[in-house]
Homo-oligomer: A and B are copies of this chain.
Amino acid sequence: MDYVIILYHKILNEELTLSKITTPTVILNFKTYLESSGENALKLAKALENVANESGITMVAAPQTADIFRINDETNIPILAQHIDPISPGGHTGSNLLECLMESGINGTLLNHSEIRMKLADIGYIVKKIRDNDLFSVVCTNNIETSVAAATLNPNFVAVEPPELIGSGIPVSQAEPEIVEGTVAKVKKINKNVEILCGAGISTGEDMKAAMDLGASGVLLASGIILAKDPQSALLDLVSKI
């Protein structure tokens, strides 16, 4: 579990900054809640930073695109985009260009979340572009089969999340532990460089411990933390059992 992924993150094309994303890893997907937008996004990012400092565990923020610049400016935690459009520079009104997001401060991106599933060819394109830029990719998947398919594309992480459990409050590690175990076993067999995250329904220390015990290298969270009365306490509880 002490596997270390080293990220070189080019800021403004001028200098290289070294970020370490160590496992266990906690990634918080901010989605598009009011509780995680604008000023609230900044507060949430600072809660992640506080808990990372206190616990020594890597806490990663995945905020909305409009909030990336400011969070990068005011905190010191790794940042992922929630999605990157499979485009090269040019005429793509309304899309998010990787190069632009890099200047804003991302260290990588989520891809293929169940709320914005991507075409196979586009996942292949962006995972490669992310790797070529020494950034960090987390491909979300819905079952063991698609986890294995995604793993052949060589992302850093696969985050397996049965869609019916997302936002349910029922942790996948309890409801369908065989999916997490099966994903770990089959993904590692095909590509041992890929780490597995456990998503969907995770919010407590028990959930996270169960996920790690099943072989996951970390967790992907969202509403369970964002909508908690006190997100920072919820994050502290999350990492309390490992």
Q: Which residues of A contact B (CB under 8 A)?
A: 12, 29, 31-34, 37-39, 41, 64-70, 82-83, 87, 89-97, 99-104, 110, 112-124, 128, 141-143, 145-146, 148-150, 152-153, 166-167, 190, 222-223
Contacts and interface: CB of A to CB of B under 8 A. Distances in A.
A89 B39 CA distance: 15
A113 B90 contact: no
Given A119-B119, A166-B91, A38 B100 contact: yes
Given A95-B116, A116-B93, A223-B91, A150 B153 contact: no
A38 to B, nearest CB: 3
A104 to B, nearest CB: 4
Contacts of A12: 38-39
Contacts of A115: 91-95
Q: Which of A33, A65, A143 has the most CB of B within 10 A?
A: A65
Given A66-B100, A100-B38, A100-B64, A141 B121 contact: yes
A39 to B, nearest CB: 6
Given A33-B90, A222-B91, A39 B121 contact: no
Given A113-B94, A152-B152, A103 B39 contact: yes
Contact of A38 (B37, B67, B99): B99
A64 B121 CA distance: 24
A68 B190 CA distance: 39
A222 B92 CA distance: 11
A96 B38 contact: no
**Chain B CB within 10 Å, residue with most, of A92, A120, A166:** A120
Given A65-B65, A90-B31, A103 B38 contact: yes
Contacts of A65: 65-66, 96
